[in-house]
Structure 1
């Protein structure tokens, strides 16, 4: 598998190098030079397979020339040890629940697959994983890489801007996992990560690697659960399928669009954001004008400069699609609350991110269409806000209950690159 740098098309790397490197020159994202393609019969065959077997076949179509099919199957099997069920919500709408993994969020799929891929290609070489999180990525990455030999994990997150239970899930591990609360928003965290990767001596000296959706292995893994979703739908609903994706950094939407590009039958996608609406405004006006990031109930989507958007634009260009075909919506906190209450009244408790996706879908779904929205995190990860909005108590899953009372092990730091650089160099190897 060959990939090219979106900011320097002359830089081309294999899949193994892209995993190890994360970003290309000029902080450019890697993108596949060629995409596999499945015809309708092949898609039907794939959809009849079980989740792990199908996912292995899809990943083999991307990277099969570098990793043998048997080894790849074992890696996928080790990563995807939990289901992604489709749950009916209304007659014409269902939810793809992506929160049944160890950290109760969709990031488990990408994080665990990347850990398996890095273990496959890195061998005994030491690696420092450096990533930024607006909530769920941190937990997924921390748990996926926790205890792995020759791997240090450093996770930056915006201080005071993620839920306390999100924080407890990944800031209580210790060991080879180091968490840093940055005095700023997620964009400030991500800017620090980019600076670190742009510093050659730091990047090469510490063998830096990023495990957020910048890394192509995470993105490819997410393609698999879109296929899993369609596989669970009756055939008559597949041809009129509309998928609404809660969007912050836009990796999840990118994966869905890649699934469509290689043959998955999806009529259209909706990019659903909160009031951090850079992309909806761009799609409406044609002007890219990021505003200052605003804190919202759906905090994992509090991103004003989504890192994966260049990949979306490149895919639309390559596929000769028009961006006018991409649905979009902006949902504020008040509407999010009302949506959560309305769904709770019909027996479906969801958290704010899923509520944003559902609201956009319900508002735009046509009578002949079937809608699917992504449930990206367990409601209990946002216990305080969900309980306050719904005025009821939420029982904590074991994964959260066992960490609720543990002390935080995080460092606190200003959004200062020199301080981060010193920290990276001095923490234990």
Structure 2
């Protein structure tokens, strides 16, 4: 598998190099020269999830890593269920929160950890990542206790749920956490700034676990195939898929799946009030505004890093622009969606509520679809309890960290304290 830097196409790398580099020159994203096309899709959809995932990822990676290695990576990464649940006559929810940190990020983070562990061998690495909520926990869990990897997680102070935060700020050992006095976009910018510092990258063998890392995106392709496989057992049409969108890595993976041959009618890119992409899809003007804090905080992203990949896929496949339809769901609409789901006996959380609303707003008569449930409702217990007048019980994964002390250090949104920490604080 060969990839190129979207900003500097002359920079060509292998999958192994892309995983260990994270970003290319000038903060450029790595993008595949070719997208493998699968055939006999019906037979592929009939396979069990893990077996199918080995085939899907083998199409990308077997030529470089060998199919046996790919199979081992998948076996270690994908060991939890992916149910597709009926919500109402037109909508289903793909529940992606049955992994160890109760969020969809477990798929990409666990696969990336397996890839890094395989590729780095005995080399000491530093993983630097920014989180708007669930990435931090998934990455921390996936890399926790690995001898040759230090993980540094940046998160916006006071802007993610307390239980989300507890899942990665209470671990210690090789997991280091920094609360940045700003928003997620500032955290993401600090990560990108670190990657531009060539001396720092070299000295601490810097890598990133954000969805800018291609290994995470490839892993996420697999659950789109699982969604359609289960959907086709109920419907004989192609689904509309609504994706709660913040940094747009999740949508990117879905588009890769469609490019590989997965039958999807179209995608709904459902954002909250941080609506840069929906506005762009209407007027063609890329005009990020100041990040707005919402109840769906993991999607509070004004400048989504993965959007260039979305455009690159659409251009490569020569799809009409309608393959991605953007919709912004404001706070009141999110609240109404959450309540409406509860009234039909489906307890959800704000991010999935945004996707459910986006699906309802975009779907036409006779269309059937699914939305992605990206996190367990209890990860947003404060919001869900308040909006639905309930008292959610904590699953064991959250209960065991709820009373543990936060170990995070607080820093300004400035590169100098981050650089000092990376050199002297690990």
Q: Matches of 2:236 and 2:196 in 1, distance apart?
A: 43
Offset, 1:237: 2.3
Q: Matches of 1:289 and 1:416 in 2, distance apart?
A: 24
TM-score by length of 2: 0.99
Q: Which residue of 1 aligns with 2:310?
A: 312
Matched, 1:153 2:151: yes
Q: Which residue of 1 aligns with 2:379?
A: 381
Consecutive unaligned residues of structure 1, counting only runs of 5 or more, are none
Q: Which residue of 1 aligns with 2:38?
A: 38
Matched, 1:231 2:221: no
Q: Matches of 1:243 and 1:338 in 2, distance apart?
A: 20
Of 365, 368, 374, 1:367 maps to: 365
Q: Matches of 1:52 and 1:58 in 2, distance apart?
A: 10
Offset, 1:164: 0.3
Of 187, 191, 194, 2:192 maps to: 194
Offset, 1:238: 5.2
Q: Which residue of 2 aligns with 1:222?
A: 220
Of 119, 127, 148, 1:129 maps to: 127
Residue-by-residue CA offset, 1:341-377 (whole Å, 9 max, x unaligned): 1111111111000000000101221222111000000
Residues 238 and 152 of structure 1, relative CA distance in 2, 3 Å threshold: farther
Offset, 1:74: 1.3
Q: What is the total number of aligned residue pairs between the two structures?
A: 426
Q: Which residue of 2 aligns with 1:16?
A: 16
Q: Matches of 2:113 and 2:71 in 1, distance apart?
A: 14
Q: Matches of 1:23 and 1:238 in 2, distance apart?
A: 41
| 1:385-424 superposed matches below 5 A | 385-424=383-422
Q: Matches of 1:33 and 1:63 in 2, distance apart?
A: 13
Matched, 1:3 2:15: no
State the SS of the aligned residue for 2:31.
strand
Offset, 1:325: 3.4
Residue-by-residue CA offset, 1:195-222 (whole Å, 9 max, x unaligned): 0000000011110000010000000000
Q: Matches of 2:107 and 2:396 in 1, distance apart?
A: 19
Q: Matches of 1:50 and 1:221 in 2, distance apart?
A: 16
Of 78, 81, 84, 1:83 maps to: 81
Q: Matches of 1:359 and 1:92 in 2, distance apart?
A: 12
| 1:25-424 superposed matches below 5 A | 25-39=25-39, 41=40, 43-235=41-233, 237=235, 239-424=237-422
Residue-by-residue CA offset, 1:269-322 (whole Å, 9 max, x unaligned): 000000100000000111000000000000000000000000001111111112
Contact preservation (8 Å) 1:272, 1:329: yes
Contact preservation (8 Å) 1:240, 1:368: no
Q: Matches of 2:425 and 2:45 in 1, distance apart?
A: 46
Offset, 1:235: 4.9
Q: Matches of 2:130 and 2:145 in 1, distance apart?
A: 20
Q: Matches of 1:166 and 1:205 in 2, distance apart?
A: 31
Offset, 1:65: 1.1
Q: Matches of 2:28 and 2:171 in 1, distance apart?
A: 32
Root-mean-square deviation (Å): 0.9
State the SS of the aligned residue for 1:373.
strand
Q: Matches of 2:233 and 2:163 in 1, distance apart?
A: 39
Detail structure 1 runs of 4+ shifted over 4 Å in the superposition. Answer: none
State the SS of the aligned residue for 1:243.
strand
Q: Matches of 2:233 and 2:160 in 1, distance apart?
A: 40
State the SS of the aligned residue for 2:63.
coil
TM-score by length of 1: 0.98
Q: Matches of 2:372 and 2:237 in 1, distance apart?
A: 18
Q: Matches of 1:156 and 1:415 in 2, distance apart?
A: 10
Q: Matches of 2:73 and 2:230 in 1, distance apart?
A: 23
Q: Matches of 1:112 and 1:346 in 2, distance apart?
A: 34
Q: Matches of 1:327 and 1:198 in 2, distance apart?
A: 33
